[in-house]
Chains A and B, each alone.
Chain A
Amino acid sequence: AQRVTQPEKLLSVFKGAPVELKCNYSYSGSPELFWYVQYSRQRLQLLLRHISRESIKGFTADLNKGETSFHLKKPFAQEEDSAMYYCALMLNAGKSTFGDGTTLTVKP
């Protein structure tokens, strides 16, 4: 069955430190993976997608099919990065399955 696992519910780092939010998936097909972010009191929004290999707000994520992972990384965390982050796997055109999220806190 398709599944997305985010093993860390909470992650806390100091400003300027590197941060990595882990995401593992199980899927028999060719995966399309994404990261969403939800800042406090704001809506869920797409952060980045593996297929475009982009860097958004300094974040990158590489799809590792061998390890079935799609970890989100940033070399130098900022306080404004504090938010809830969700990893998601697109199953078909209309449906995605989400992990349970990681709350990132960046301390000053």
Chain B
Amino acid sequence: GAGVSQSPRYKVAKRGQDVALRCDPISGHVSLFWYQQALGQGPEFLTYFQNEAQLDKSGLPSDRFFAERPEGSVSTLKIQRTQQEDSAVYLCASSLVQGKVTEAFFGQGTRLTVV
């Protein structure tokens, strides 16, 4: 595809369940970003990869959140033991330019609802 692809688009999880959210960046893009957007709020930074290296994970809210990008392409954001406060849209973005989130293209997001 031509853009950043995220799957699933929608996910309903029971509290305590583990979830995995996938991001397929634009081919060749070295930088990949994850943001969390709660209802009525702006996106909040979670983590940033340059190729397979996770250069910044300062935004991950707890040790239940884990992100990886093992081959420098597809990335997975994993949330363990989901809580209701994890309900949000999770946005992924990728960029050809190293470390410039402002040059990044965003995916359509995964809407996670924890019940």
A interface residues with partner B (beta carbon < 8 Å): 4, 9, 32, 34, 43-46, 49, 86, 88, 90, 92-101
Docked pose: A34 CA to B4 CA in angstroms: 21
Q: Which of B31, B103, B106, B108 has the most CB of A within 10 A?
A: B106
User: Which of A9, A44, A93, A94 is in CB contact (< 8 Å) with B91?
Assistant: A44
Q: Which of B42, B91, B100 has the most CB of A within 10 A?
A: B42
User: Which of B33, B41, B98 is in CB contact (< 8 Å) with A100?
Assistant: B41
| Residues of A contacting B102 in the complex (Cβ-Cβ under 8 angstroms) | 32, 34, 46, 49, 88, 90, 96
Stretch at the interface among B11-19, B21-29, B43-51, B60-68: B43-51
Q: Which of B4, B91, B102 has the most CB of A within 10 A?
A: B102
Main secondary structure of the interface of A (DSSP, over half): strand
Docked pose: A32 CA to B31 CA in angstroms: 19
Interface residues on B, range: 20 to 34
| Interface residue? B55 (CB, 8 A) | yes
User: Which of A45, A94, A97, A99 is in CB contact (< 8 Å) with B55?
Assistant: A94
Contact between B99 and A93 (Cβ–Cβ < 8 Å)? Answer: yes
| Residues of A contacting B99 in the complex (Cβ-Cβ under 8 angstroms) | 92-94
Docked pose: A66 CA to B105 CA in angstroms: 32
Docked pose: A13 CA to B55 CA in angstroms: 43
Contact between A43 and B101 (Cβ–Cβ < 8 Å)? Answer: no
Q: Which of A86, A93, A94 has the most CB of B within 10 A?
A: A94
With A93-B99, A94-B99, A95-B48: A43-B3 Cβ-Cβ less than 8 Å: yes
Contact between B101 and A44 (Cβ–Cβ < 8 Å)? Answer: no
